[in-house]
Structure 1
Amino acid sequence: PIHIGHIAGAYLPADIYVHFNKLMGRDVLYICGTDEHGVPITIRAEQEGISPKDVVDRYHQEIKSSFDSLQIEFDNFSRTSLSEHYAISQGFFKELLANDYIETNVEKQLFCEDNQKFLPDRYIEGTCPHCGNERARGDECPKCGKWLEATELKNPSSKLCKSPLVIKETQHWYLRLDKLQGKLESWLEQKDWKDNVKNFVLGWFKDGLKPRPITRDLAWGIPVPLDLPEAKNKVLYVWFDAPIGYLSSTVEWAAKKGTPEAWKGYWQDPTTKLVHFIGKDNIPFHAIVWPAMLMGQTTEYILPSEIPANEHLTVEGEKISTSRGNAVWIPEFLEDFPSDYLRYYLAVNAPENKDADFSWKNFQNVINAELINIVANLFNRVLSFTFSRYAEQVPQFKETKANGYDEQILDQIKSTIRKAKKLYGEFRVRDVTREILDLARAGNQYFQDNEPWKMVKTDEERVAVVLNVCIRLIEALAILYYPIIPKSSQAMWEALNMPFPLENSRLEMIEDMSDPGGRPIRQPMPLFAKVEDLVVTKHL
């Protein structure tokens, strides 16, 4: 299931970026899917007495439903349990093996004699040998960020095993990251990535990349595609097959369209820009392992262009923990609030360069002070006045009645659009949200300063100019806010009775957009409802 930390870390920034690029008229393919392998799936299945397939089927639908409810709409939402994904993942393994980027090693792993199973790394805890953190996991230490082997931990234990853990030998296949480090370093030198991503990767390079196991002793997963006795009951490690899901999802998208070769126009075209939106926990997999897997193929694929990883989101000052119940789940949030409230607050408060906190009281203050008191206030005042006093039409702009204040506002619309294009393109969602709000704030001040409710008694043509400018500003707000709050932007657009759909609009067109007036408008309905104390208190 999806909680707000997932949305803030990866999915909302991605959705905003997709909407922005569509507003720029670019060809964008938005791909995602559920990662359906790994030990958590098998453990859940055992706990519920059902098959792993039953578990992933249920979660796939629940996750897709959460995305849909937040207007996060992918061109293809796939899953890694599909046969096509199995075939592509096994093909990746075979090409890496043929190109001498995979080797076999006999390794020591922790084993539970109670259930006669090798234990998964992430379900083993112990003391980190590097920093002394007593709650390090068997695959990495969340405190110092080191990637670990479970056998390196001091005093290892697992909730999955009552008896003391023992060490046993087992053979596995390893990806030779050490052989690919030179290529990875040369490739990274060309990237102007966010500091949190680049510094993380450079730290790994400094320590020297080592071969990493890409297979596991599990019953659920993609079988190792080798007809060898040692390969029996071995599956591809989840971190190996999961990123291949981006490719297999694109292949599935092409097949659904009836153009099965269309995926090549993206994955094998060097002009394609591949952008991975992830949380910081996934930096090593997307910035090191996945590019290495692509580099090691005989088949040529593009490499990631950008990896704008976000930091963590906390809730009320504490780390999100599903086991401790400190999480805000999407279905629960949407029982009390519209989706745009969450999208807006997470955009304003995005953990782009450092951790950010979700506070219910701050959420209430931001929505009421910004969306309601500024954006909705401008929308309702301008359209209600126009609807009632100017025959339900956009008033005409007469140049002879215009003044410098009008030009100042029109210039601010243009400058905000230019800034928004730059900020959206640089993944700076917090900053772009503030710029758009400043424009709305300026519109409110402009309307207030001109006092059209007074001036209409003596100079209707001058008031018509003021209202025309305000409506042009609201048109710009609807387009600029569309990537962030799509439902509310759509409501503004429909009230303005614009002659073309909002999703077909382009940022370029509103830089010089004029409105001749005379177009009928609709009676405005309230855009937002106030976030009341009683509802917020329920969540505290």
Structure 2
Amino acid sequence: MTATDGSDGRPVLVIGGPPTTNGDLHIGHVAGPYVAADVYSRYLRATGRDVVYASGGDDSQTYVVTSAARLGTTPPELTVKSWALIKGTFEAMGIAVDGFAPTDDDYRSTVYNYVNRLYELGKFRLRTVRLPYSERTGTFLVEGLIGGDCPTCLADSRGGICETCGHPIDFDGLLDPWSLLDPSDEVTYRETEIMVFPLEEYREQLTAFHAAKASTWRPHLVSLMRELLAKPLPDYPITYPVAWGLPAPFPETPGQTLNAWVEGMPASMYCSTYGQRQRGLQPPSTDDAWRAEHDAELVFFVGFDNLFIWALVHVAELMAHEGRYVLPDTILTNEFYELDNEKFSTSKGHVVWARDLVAEVPRDVARFYLNLTAPEHARTNFSQAVLDKVVGERLVEPWNELATTLAKLAAEVSGDAAGAGAPLPVVPGTPARIAAMISRFRGCFELDSFSLSRAADLVVQHTARLRADAQRALTEEHDALRVRAGDLFLQTRALITCMSPVLVDLAAQVAQNGDFEPRMSADAFDVAHTTAFVVPGLSLRTAAADHAVPPAATTTV
């Protein structure tokens, strides 16, 4: 597929950072990278671009171990159950991931091919490091197994990365460390040899890469990269002496496992391939889509708390493959999404599961509100009361008034509320109005100015405008009414096209009721005649008995 409107025709690979399979997804999870990546992918398809949106479960994280212990299950059992829950939640939210890949043999071979290639190219180093250690269990405590205070910002943190400031935490860097598996356990330190990836060796390449992106990427990401590149970059652990994870393949580190974060890039490559296979394609290798010769546009959607990994470590890994792979064109980051102005906490029951939300409100309503309140540049907040009030007053009521008035117009000009009858004329100025509307929406969906909240505002603005125009049209004489009806139905059709990446079910319903394929191009609406059509209404509530999904609280963290 190639672009139909002069836009970049390169294939696009969209990656939603693989969620840890230690439970289901709450709305704080989906409001960040996953809804945004879905909207962007749907937009690309509406402009004729060839896109694969992929993700997959992150089974190897040590957070799986601590979650399984708290829930009284085993890590393998938890990952299997969580993978199915997450996949179901994506489907319930209308997040159309082309491939939500399982951790199968092809996944594992892709990971091993990736790390072995770097090993054979001499990109890793063997280092002696000091790690937290449990004297009682005789095991090392890393990443999600160890808590403490961040040495950079002093916030409560876990090993590896601080989710508050985004800075990496050295192997023994946590202040006042404690074991998440047993807070009463004494934590000491022991030295051990592990394999590391020396990030400092890629300083010059990383600095140039981020300098080239600074003018178009989000400010918080840019400022964090400047902070991190202003000081020596750490050695990044490739292996850990822990039991959970994929066994490390290197002879120098027997009995160790791969650091789960190392799976990020090969996992994403496999997820892209899995997505292609789901669409009936058969790429020659599981990393083929990412090979430099195909010149794909690579886009990551990730939370701010993981940027050290995605914007430095993973980029350096791709560079270390010496031209084999494309580098990311854009890393689109989000901030935290809160619940009633407090951080989501599954352990305290302060949470709204995404699947529970769409069991009570139509997913178009949920998606619209998550777009309107998207945490793009600062923390934002979910509130059920605000959802009801804001979406009801700004979207549902005005849209339904527009739909009702258009049905009256259709009946007036054709004798049929469904719009059967002769084509309706369109005045010459209407396509220019539609072109202006499409241009504004496209500005919200293009990556250099991507904004879900502004797109949602545009939906509100144009719904109110067309509602007012439709109500005025009812007062006009028959001949003038036919012209006004033609303009209104064509503009409404264009608005539904522009809304289609967000309000997926409304667009699908229009498509089912007639000849409608969302194509976000002005020339698609440069016509002299149009027809009336049934404009579906919106509801603020759905019958829970008809759409209920089993609650997931007992199986999540």
Query: In 2, are the aligned partners of 1:254 and 1:261 still within 8 Å (CA)?
Result: no
1:54-103: CA deviations, max 9, x gaps?
22111111000000011111221113x32222222222222222333211
Considering fraction of residues, name the structure with more helix: 1
Whether 1:8 and 2:31 are equivalent positions in the alignment is yes
Picking from 67, 70, 78, the partner of 1:55 is: 78
Cα distance change on mapping 1:19 and 1:128 into 2, 3 Å: closer
Unaligned runs of at least 5 residues, structure 2: 1-23, 544-557
1:527 counterpart residue number: 538
Provide the rounded CA distance (Å) in 2 between the counterparts of 1:525 and 1:88: 46
Shift of 1:288: 0.5
Whether 1:119 and 2:141 are equivalent positions in the alignment is yes
1:208-264: CA deviations, max 9, x gaps?
212111211222211111234xx2221110111123211112233455635232762
SS in 2 for 1:470: helix
1:85 counterpart residue number: 107
2:315 counterpart residue number: 291
1:136 counterpart residue number: 157
Count of residue pairs brought into register by the alignment: 510
Provide the rounded CA distance (Å) in 1 between the counterparts of 2:276 and 2:498: 31
Cα distance change on mapping 1:127 and 1:27 into 2, 3 Å: closer
Cα distance change on mapping 1:528 and 1:493 into 2, 3 Å: farther
1:236 counterpart residue number: 258
1:178 counterpart residue number: 200
Whether 1:479 and 2:502 are equivalent positions in the alignment is no
**TM-score, normalized by length of structure 1?**
0.88
2:529 counterpart residue number: 515
Picking from 478, 482, 495, the partner of 1:464 is: 482
Shift of 1:140: 3.1
2:508 counterpart residue number: 490
Provide the rounded CA distance (Å) in 2 between the counterparts of 1:47 and 1:484: 37
Task: Decide which moves more: 59-68 or 181-190.
Answer: 181-190
Query: In 1, are the aligned partners of 2:62 and 2:143 still within 8 Å (CA)?
Result: no
Whether 1:247 and 2:279 are equivalent positions in the alignment is no
Cα distance change on mapping 1:526 and 1:65 into 2, 3 Å: same
Provide the rounded CA distance (Å) in 2 between the counterparts of 1:525 and 1:420: 21
Cα distance change on mapping 1:124 and 1:398 into 2, 3 Å: closer
Matching of residues 90-105 of structure 1 within 5 Å? 90-105=112-127
Matching of residues 61-76 of structure 1 within 5 Å? 61-76=84-99
1:260 counterpart residue number: 283
Provide the rounded CA distance (Å) in 1 between the counterparts of 2:398 and 2:542: 15
Provide the rounded CA distance (Å) in 1 between the counterparts of 2:41 and 2:264: 22
Query: In 2, are the aligned partners of 1:177 and 1:211 still within 8 Å (CA)?
Result: yes
Cα distance change on mapping 1:508 and 1:411 into 2, 3 Å: closer
Over the aligned positions, Cα root-mean-square deviation in angstroms equals 2.4
Provide the rounded CA distance (Å) in 2 between the counterparts of 1:220 and 1:164: 21
1:380 counterpart residue number: 404
Shift of 1:410: 5.2
Picking from 52, 71, 92, the partner of 1:29 is: 52
Q: Which has the larger radius of gyration?
A: 1
Shift of 1:31: 1.1
1:113-155: CA deviations, max 9, x gaps?
222211123332233333444x232323344433113522332
Provide the rounded CA distance (Å) in 2 between the counterparts of 1:530 and 1:128: 43
Shift of 1:489: 2.0
Shift of 1:172: 0.6
Provide the rounded CA distance (Å) in 2 between the counterparts of 1:494 and 1:391: 22
Q: What is the letter of the counterpart of residue 342 of structure 1?
A: A
2:395 counterpart residue number: 371
Q: What is the letter of the counterpart of residue 106 of structure 1?
A: T
SS in 2 for 1:104: strand
1:442 counterpart residue number: 465
SS in 2 for 1:319: coil
Shift of 1:196: 1.4
Matching of residues 164-203 of structure 1 within 5 Å? 164-191=186-213, 192-203=216-227
Shift of 1:389: 5.7
Cα distance change on mapping 1:127 and 1:76 into 2, 3 Å: closer
Provide the rounded CA distance (Å) in 2 between the counterparts of 1:151 and 1:266: 35
Provide the rounded CA distance (Å) in 1 between the counterparts of 2:506 and 2:275: 29
1:538 counterpart residue number: none
Query: In 1, are the aligned partners of 2:388 and 2:540 still within 8 Å (CA)?
Result: no
Cα distance change on mapping 1:168 and 1:45 into 2, 3 Å: same
Query: In 1, are the aligned partners of 2:435 and 2:522 still within 8 Å (CA)?
Result: no
1:460-513: CA deviations, max 9, x gaps?
111112222111121012111100011012224445x3x24x35x343444424
Whether 1:156 and 2:177 are equivalent positions in the alignment is yes
Cα distance change on mapping 1:250 and 1:492 into 2, 3 Å: closer
Query: In 2, are the aligned partners of 1:277 and 1:309 still within 8 Å (CA)?
Result: yes
Cα distance change on mapping 1:386 and 1:515 into 2, 3 Å: same
Shift of 1:340: 0.9
Cα distance change on mapping 1:494 and 1:248 into 2, 3 Å: closer
Query: In 2, are the aligned partners of 1:110 and 1:165 still within 8 Å (CA)?
Result: yes
Q: What is the letter of the counterpart of residue 233 of structure 1?
A: G
Shift of 1:298: 4.6
Query: In 1, are the aligned partners of 2:399 and 2:537 still within 8 Å (CA)?
Result: no
Q: What is the letter of the counterpart of residue 529 of structure 2?
A: D
Query: In 1, are the aligned partners of 2:338 and 2:381 still within 8 Å (CA)?
Result: yes
Picking from 430, 433, 441, the partner of 1:412 is: 433
SS in 2 for 1:223: coil
Unaligned runs of at least 5 residues, structure 1: 533-540
SS in 2 for 1:308: strand
**TM-score, normalized by length of structure 2?**
0.85
Query: In 2, are the aligned partners of 1:104 and 1:172 still within 8 Å (CA)?
Result: yes
Shift of 1:163: 2.7
SS in 2 for 1:152: coil
Provide the rounded CA distance (Å) in 2 between the counterparts of 1:168 and 1:398: 80
